[in-house]
Amino acid sequence: MKINILLSLMILFIVPIFAAPPGAFDLISPDQEILNSDNVLFSWESSIDPEAGPVTYTVWISDNCSDYTKAFSTVDTYGSALIQENSEYWWYVSAEDQDLEKTDSDSISWFGVNEVEEDPEAFNLIFPIGNIQIEKENPELTWQHSHDNDPWDTVTYTVFLSTSSGMDTYVSYIAGETNSYSLGVLKEDMSYYWQVIASDTALNTRASAIENFKTFSFELFSPLSFSKVDTLNVTFSWDRAHSADTPTYEIRIREVSAADLYVMQNVGSDTQFVKPFGTDNDNSLFEWQVYAYDPERGTTRISRYSSQTFSVDIANENPYPFSLFSPSDSAILETLHPELVWNPSQDPDPWDGVSYTLHLLPDSGGEITVSPIFSNFYTLTEVENFHSYTWYITATDSGGLHSDSLEQFCFRITAPVAERELLTLSPNPMKKAGEMRISAICGDCVLKIFDSSGNLILEKDVSGKNEATINIDLASGIYFLYVEYADGEGLIRRFGVY
């Protein structure tokens, strides 16, 4: 009996705990659609509470599909400032019974609000515009995207191309949703006008401004721009200016460096012309262009490039001779870093450049060379005090031909020697392995490093220098740098290694 009472009490408590939540239900409308009113009627199926109690509903709404706002309760229509024109929303409904248990609708749905259809917004053409000249082959037209405010409205583009500024006759191309279109091969030397029309899903349109560009004229074939011609009989050739007509051509040639005027030559309807140049034209630069006169069309057209440059250069030649400049011959220099300067060497061949090699001959014998040098000066770091040097320069062109400077100069280094008492070493203390810099060395001398027990660790002859750098690799401790001069005197400096 006691057990039955206990069970009854347990059931009394358990029943509310296991009360079932409201039954499943789903949304009805709006359901994945664009509404043309901002007064939105929400509706959904009823949810049945298993305990037959009352059910209340809450509508949750979001404009980003993640942050939901509690919209309202217990009623099933809604018109609100929450709902904005040109916006998209996600929504669901939560049902709640008297036991505060909840069931969400089976799905989340979405809708858009578009009470007013709007045109695509204004946009600009990007390229080619402003009457610029472009290649006739497959130019790509580009423009800004046009934005459309209406939700889920798609903008597509149509390109209109015309050879008249008023776009009286035109060809149109469907570009789809991309903001570019590649044209095929256009006519050369022609002005084109173009415009793009943006259309939205409801066929509302927005037209761009009209822009224009021009295609290049006929091509010059040979000699190509910046080419080298190795004959005095130069063959000029070019493309036909018109495929259908037979214009007459006039070739214009001038020497660049002489700043001459163009010499004109009528060549009839040929698209080729051979001109004999004189030997005095070797190593010269020329520019040329072709004019096409078309009596049937009444037009005059200039070849694609306003001018095309080439060189007549029969053979490679050595750089011209050149002079040394400074220091003057037999100079006495009070520096260990003298700057050598020479006059630049010219090369007779057009577009041929030179580099230099320095030859330095010490009085102690041998030869030091520095190469390549791309300027006409060089600062020496290779000389020692109290020595004499002879130097000259070789100029070498791109083909390997070379010329020496007209002179060989000589100089002697007598840099002032440092005061012995100013001898310093750094860093101090220094790390176990690294560079030690010793300044104000005086004349001919030998550096010696001793450890604290007096053992000789390192010896180096630094004669003729005012400063020295030595690499050391020492154990931690105290050391002594001893500088022994040629006259038998010496200076000692203490340093630490950590």
**Using CB under 5 A as the criterion, which residues of the chain lie in contact with Ca ion when the complex forms?**
86, 114, 116, 118, 148, 150, 153, 200, 283, 313, 316-317, 347, 349, 352, 397
Nearer to Ca ion, 105 or 403 (CB): 403
Cβ distance to Ca ion smaller for residue 400 or 454: 400
> What are 402's strand-pairing partners?
396
Q: Are 148 and 200 in contact (CB under 8 A)?
A: yes
The first and second tokens of residue 290, run together, are 């072709």
- Nearer residue to Ca ion within complex by CB, 36 or 73: 36
C-beta of 192 vs 310, nearer to Ca ion: 310
Shortest reach from residue 202's CB to Ca ion, in Å: 6
Between 317 and 384, CB nearer to Ca ion: 317
Q: Which two tokens stand for residue 22?
A: 């409201």
Burial of 430-467, coded b for 16+ CB within 10 Å and e otherwise, reads beeeeebebebbbbbbebbbeeeeeeeebeeebebbbe
Q: Whose Cβ is closer to Ca ion: residue 149's or residue 191's?
A: 149
Distance CA 247, CA 34 (A): 63
Q: How far is the CB of 120 from Ca ion (least distance, A)?
A: 6
Compute the least distance from the CB of residue 490 to Ca ion, in Å.
Answer: 58
Nearest distance, CB of residue 348 and Ca ion, angstroms: 6
Pair 194, 125: CB distance under 8 Å: yes
Tell me the closest approach of the beta carbon of residue 125 to Ca ion, in angstroms: 21
CB of 272 to Ca ion, least distance (A): 25
Distance between CA 335 and CA 105 in Å, rounded? 93
Exposure string for 336-367, b = 16+ CB within 10 A, e = fewer: bebebebeebebebbebebbbbbbbbeeeeee
Closest CA to 189 of 151, 226, 163, 227: 163
Exposure letters 43-56 (e unless 16+ CB within 10 A, then b): ebeebebebeeebe
Cβ distance to Ca ion smaller for residue 114 or 195: 114
What is the four-CA torsion angle of 454, 458, 461, 466, rounded to 10 degrees?
A: -90
CA 254 to chain centre: 38
Alpha carbon of 287 to those of 82, 236, 284: distances in Å? 73, 12, 10
Q: Tell me the closest approach of the beta carbon of residue 171 to Ca ion, in angstroms.
A: 27
Cα–Cα distance measured from residue 88 to residue 150, given in angstroms and rounded to the nearest whole number: 10
| Structural contact between residues 92 and 109, judged by C-beta atoms closer than 8 angstroms | yes
Residue 372 vs residues 228, 368, 377: alpha-carbon distances, Å: 26, 13, 12
Q: How far is the CB of 119 from Ca ion (least distance, A)?
A: 6
Q: Shortest Cβ distance from residue 466 to Ca ion (Å)?
A: 43
Q: How far is the CB of 34 from Ca ion (least distance, A)?
A: 9
Question: CA distances (Å), 81 to each of 38, 85, 344, in order?
Answer: 9, 10, 81
Return the sign of the alpha-carbon dihedral for residues 177, 180, 182, 186: positive
Q: Which residues pair with 165 in a beta bridge?
A: none
Complex with Ca ion: residue 88 or 250, whichever CB lies closer? 88
Q: How far is the CB of 116 from Ca ion (least distance, A)?
A: 5
Which one, 188 or 313, has the nearer CB to Ca ion?
313
CB nearer to Ca ion: give 109 or 114.
114
Contact 223, 233 (CB under 8 A): no
Whether residue 327 is preceded by a cis peptide bond, meaning omega within 30 degrees of 0, is yes
Residue with smaller CB distance to Ca ion, 271 or 345: 345
Nearer to Ca ion, 36 or 328 (CB): 36
Smallest separation, CB 152 to Ca ion (Å): 10
- Please tell me the distance from the alpha carbon of residue 483 to that of residue 419, in angstroms, as a whole number: 13
